[in-house]
Amino acid sequence: MINKKRFFIVYSILTIFLVFGICEILKGETPLKLKYKKWLNLVEYIITPIEKEIYSKITNDRDRDAFIKIFWKHRDPTNGTPENEFKENHIKRFDYANRYLKYGTPKPGWRTDRGKIYIILGAPMERNIIDENGLYPIEIWEYFGKKKKQLPVAFRVVFYKRHGIGEYKLYSPVIDGPASLMHTEIGQIDETNYIQLYNKLNELNTTVANASISLIPGKTPYNYQPSLESNLLLANIFEYPIRNINISYARDFMKFKGMVDVSSSINYIESHNDVYIFKEPTLNLNFIHIMILPKKISVDYSEEKNKYYLNYELSVSLKKDGCTVYQNSKNFPFYYSEKELKTKLSRGLAITDYFPIIEGKFELNVLIQNSVNKEFSYFQKKIDTNDSFSSLPHLYSPVIASKIEKVREHVFSSFNTSNYKIYTSPKREFGLKDDIYIFFCVDRGEYNKKILCRADIKSKESYKKYSKQYSFILPEKERYMCFTKKLDKLESAYYELNLVLSGEEDSIIYSAKKKDFTVSPASHLAYPMVAKRTILGKNSFIFYYILAKEYENSKNYDKALYNYKKAYNLKPPFPELIKDYANFLLKVKKYNEVFKIIDGLKNSEKELFYFYLYKGRTYYYTKDYRKAVEHLYKANNIYDSDISVLNYLGLSFIKLNKIKKAIEVLSASLSIRPDQNEIIKILQSIKRD
């Protein structure tokens, strides 16, 4: 007997896939609860426009709570500790502004100019309150700045009451001007005569006079005319809390929230990633190669193994027009001694994958989850593979690599192609003394003359001009060829590789590709460890099997059949292929083919249930209902709670006019899964008749 628990798990997994495979129906937005409106007020000055836009699109409170947790986590200066100092300080500043900076206005304190500056910068180092004859009420707040945040070493912020009434407003030397700070004898001074204005203010209060023309101490502008430098300072202050905030988590939130447990989505980790398409000439198939490098890795300690460990699960899906064409998951467990942890993992860890791909335009979704701390990274890319199947000459994805090796014994693996092993990193960053290689492949298609390829390396920075060109030729006799070239040593800068493919005689540009890379000021860089899976040549059937599934899911049944046949004819001892192939043959009504292949399951006790199920279904479709009942009964004796067996058994009894047995079997099916509308209708019909 087959374990019923195992069947329940399989059924549950299939149910989950079905649920997530259905296109989401747009739901009406519910009014935002007061606590979520208050949170938006709290973060008004520190939330980026993208974060605010994504937050506005969230339609339920559970996801809002998750988003808020991630928002604070990405601003926590000490990740890993229970406290979030940034959040605590921000809330204290917000509360102080509401309590002490609300006077003179009906607005809450956080909405005032003083409240805004206090929330962004905190308490000033010194606060000068000036209320003297000839001047309107003025406050000058002194601060120390941070150069890395584009704030000067010392600066001041000035507030004043316009015309002496109302709330304190933020003062701008350029927009408001020194004349706005005083009310005596203004008529006797030209408001555009900044020397006279400065002298008059200096008589009243030297501190105010200096602050009126510049918010940066010691910066006295020419002729005392306020410069734009002060306005740039104010702009930098307002950008200060959102500068250098990586908002990739926000862009991806609406995508990954359906793929991971929302409660653990606060553990989103940013990553570097890259995607390439190469041709494998030994199989004449196109492969997609994926690399993802998390910016942070957590490890745990196993007392049992006396080693540190982590485990990544990589999930990849390919979608076309909202429907899943390919989906797969792989586990990458790692165990390290303390020494290995310091030497190997300190360089980072890149997880890779590869699989054959069909022609078309797709949405690629890649998710990796670390079992330690439930950390995950995610990225999504638009993929267009049509040019890789073109009859015109075309280029495949160029790679910027730190090393290229020729491999003698060919194996199938990520970033192995055409007997080359490619060492690359999604950061595409190199040291001054590191070797840098370019690698690319050319397919001539049906073009029968020489093909030229030009590779231009150019600096992207105007102050560091560099340009060098390399030329390559694809001979007439070669259909497909890969090229590699070691570059000259380059200065520290940002660079761009431009590849252009053209005919030798007609000079028509057939294909062009680009790739950016960086040369760091450091002499050498440490490149990450790369995790990959290898498949031996004798197991190449799996690639045709994957293509068959992709074509089937894309409803290209002719190509699906071709690849199923190719995979099956390689005679792999792989029952899953036989079951999927049989299911597909039933779908396209090639019943005789099912009888030919299904015998591959009958010698395995574990697969006998499926042998009888598929054989019974095939007899049903070929109208041999007695044999259908015979085989379906045998399947039911192995496992008596499969609704597919029960439904085909019931339908066979109807065809044999054994209505009482049909009612009994179909009722049993509905007791397992009551939501089968078609079976309900059939059952009602035969009971009525």
Per-residue pLDDT of 220-264, as tens digits, reads: 888 899 988 999 999 999 998 988 787 877 877 777 766 666 555
Q: Is the pLDDT of residue 655 over 80?
A: yes
Burial of 689 from C-beta contacts in 10 A (0-12 / 13-18 / 19+) = exposed
Among 12-16, 388-392, 431-435, name the one with the lowest average pLDDT.
12-16
Of residues 473, 475, 471, 436, the one with CA closest to residue 455: 471
In total, the chain counts a number of residues equal to 689
Q: Is the pLDDT of residue 40 over 60?
A: yes
pLDDT number for residue 14: 28
Residue 384, both tokens = 């267009």
* pTM (global) more than 0.75: no
CB burial string 496-524: b at 16+ within 10 A, e below: ebebbbbbeeeeeebbebebebbbeeeee
pLDDT number for residue 16: 29
Average pLDDT over residues 1-27: 33
Q: Which residue has the higher pLDDT, 23 or 598?
A: 598
Confidence of residue 9 (pLDDT cuts 50, 70, 90): very low
Per-residue pLDDT of 597-650, as tens digits, reads: 999 999 889 999 999 999 999 999 999 999 999 999 999 999 988 999 999 999
pLDDT number for residue 499: 96
Q: Which residue has the higher pLDDT, 249 or 654?
A: 654
List, in sequence order, every beta strand (DSSP E) within 61-119. Answer: none
Pairing of strands 138-144, 154-160: antiparallel
pLDDT number for residue 188: 67
Burial of 550 from C-beta contacts in 10 A (0-12 / 13-18 / 19+) = buried
Average pLDDT over residues 342-366: 93
pLDDT number for residue 265: 58
pLDDT number for residue 463: 79
Average pLDDT over residues 307-316: 93
Per-residue pLDDT of 464-500, as tens digits, reads: 889 999 999 999 888 999 999 999 999 999 999 999 9
Helices 575-587 & 541-553 angle (0-180, nearest 10): 30
Residue 38, both tokens = 């208050």
Q: Is the pLDDT of residue 651 over 80?
A: yes
Average pLDDT over residues 323-331: 93
Q: Is the pLDDT of residue 23 over 70?
A: no
pLDDT number for residue 186: 52
Mean pLDDT score across all residues of the chain: 89
Q: Is the pLDDT of residue 25 over 60?
A: no
Average pLDDT over residues 40-55: 93
CA distance 147 to 141: 19
Is residue 167 within 8 A of residue 253, CB to CB? The reply is no
**Alpha-carbon separation of residue 133 from 112, 177, 182 (angstroms):** 25, 19, 9
pLDDT number for residue 249: 77
